[in-house]
């Protein structure tokens, strides 16, 4: 039996969710989970969900933005980051998530879909180390 990859399962899951009938969706989801179990691929579920989210966001033109800083951001900064993402991705649909990471000494890590903008002090120090070696 050929193994099905996470992307294929995610595409199937997306198609299941397109039904207008909630009962049909529930029945198909039960079948979907049992299919994963029968094929011994329940361990793929996290990757399937991640791929599903990517497919959903792409189809609905949603840009995900994750900002990691050593402190809580105020609304003005969040709005500036949202505007930056909107201009980079040419969309108004921004899903912003902020994470406080006290391990960062300063700066920020911003991930816009798959684009990483790393202005953290740790990243800058690592770059300096590479240059010196």
Position 1 pLDDT exceeds 80: no
The predicted pLDDT at position 88 comes to 85
Say what the pTM is: 0.70
Instruction: Give the Å distances, CA to CA, from 131 to 14, 106, 111, 127.
Output: 46, 21, 25, 6
What does the pLDDT look like over 108-117, one tens digit per residue?
Answer: 899 988 888 8
Distance (Å, rounded) from C-alpha 71 to C-alpha 100? 5
Instruction: List the alpha helices (DSSP H) in the chain.
Output: 6-17, 22-38, 45-59, 75-89, 121-132
Judged on CB neighbours under 10 Å (0-12, 13-18, 19+), 131 is exposed
Share of the chain above pLDDT 70, in %: 99
């Amino acid at each position: 039996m050929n193994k099905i990859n996470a992307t294929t399962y995610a595409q199937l899951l997306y198609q299941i969710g397109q039904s207008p009938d909630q009962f049909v969706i529930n029945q198909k989801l039960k079948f979907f989970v049992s299919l994963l179990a029968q094929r011994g691929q329940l361990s793929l579920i996290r990757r399937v969900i991640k791929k599903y989210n990517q497919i959903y966001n792409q189809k609905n033109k949603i840009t995900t933005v994750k900002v990691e800083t050593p402190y809580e951001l105020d609304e003005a900064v969040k709005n500036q980051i949202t505007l930056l993402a909107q201009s980079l991705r040419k969309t108004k649909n921004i899903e912003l998530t902020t994470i406080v990471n006290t391990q960062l000494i300063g700066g920020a890590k911003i991930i816009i879909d798959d684009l990483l903008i790393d202005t953290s002090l740790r990243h800058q120090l690592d770059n300096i180390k590479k240059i010196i070696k």
